[in-house]
Amino acid sequence: MRLHISIDDGIVAELDRRAGKRRRSAFIAELIRRGLDDEQRWDDIEASLGSIDDEGHAWDEDPARWVREQRSADPQRTG
């Protein structure tokens, strides 16, 4: 699909320097893909806010001990 957008001359010059005139579209498409992935991650994070209770967890008393126990329980872990 074709899309018409306006971009400042300075940005186009930097784009050409980084990607080359013949790779503008691919470069811009990749940046948009990354930006949309980031936006989706933030949507997922915001949707999960408040989904874990504030208290009543196995790690509440001593979080460092809980982490060590979790790590040592998995034989695949090296740390």
pLDDT attached to residue 79 = 55
pTM, 2 dp = 0.64
Domain boundaries, the chain: 1-49
pLDDT digits (tens, 9 = 90+) for 25-72: 999 999 999 999 999 999 999 999 988 888 889 899 999 999 988 888
pLDDT for the residue numbered 7: 95
Q: How confident is the model at residue 75, as a pLDDT?
A: 78
Handedness of CA 56, 61, 65, 69 (dihedral sign): negative
> Hey, what's the torsion of the CAs at 44, 46, 47, 52, to 10 degrees?
110
CA-to-CA separations, 40 to 23, 26, 67, in angstroms, rounded = 26, 21, 29
